[in-house]
Amino acid sequence: MQIDDTRTEPLLAIPGIAELWPILAVVFLLFGARKLPELARAMGSSVTQFKKGLDSKEEEPAKQVEGAPGSDGDTKS
């Protein structure tokens, strides 16, 4: 049995218009017209924050919690 490696289409295809209509209808029924703009805004800001996090070359140093074992401000003596 031979494996066909000449496949050009991706295994997970991007849904087309015909597949998106039922999904959008269910979302509309679940959340309603008043909540959809809020959801879109929240998703947009989430994507923006995610991209900013990926683009930032400067990593934040790990913050130590006061009173945690191994921190400089350890109160145990």
For the chain, domain boundaries: 18-54
Tell me 72's DSSP state. Answer: T
Please state the rounded mean pLDDT for residues 50-72.
Answer: 68
Instruction: Share the mean pLDDT of the chain.
Output: 77
For residue range 7-28, list pLDDT tens digits in order: 666 667 788 889 889 998 998 8
Q: Which pair of structure tokens corresponds to residue 76?
A: 């145990």
> Does position 74 have pLDDT exceeding 60, yes or no?
no
pLDDT given at position 60: 57
For the full predicted model, state whether its pTM sits above 0.85. no
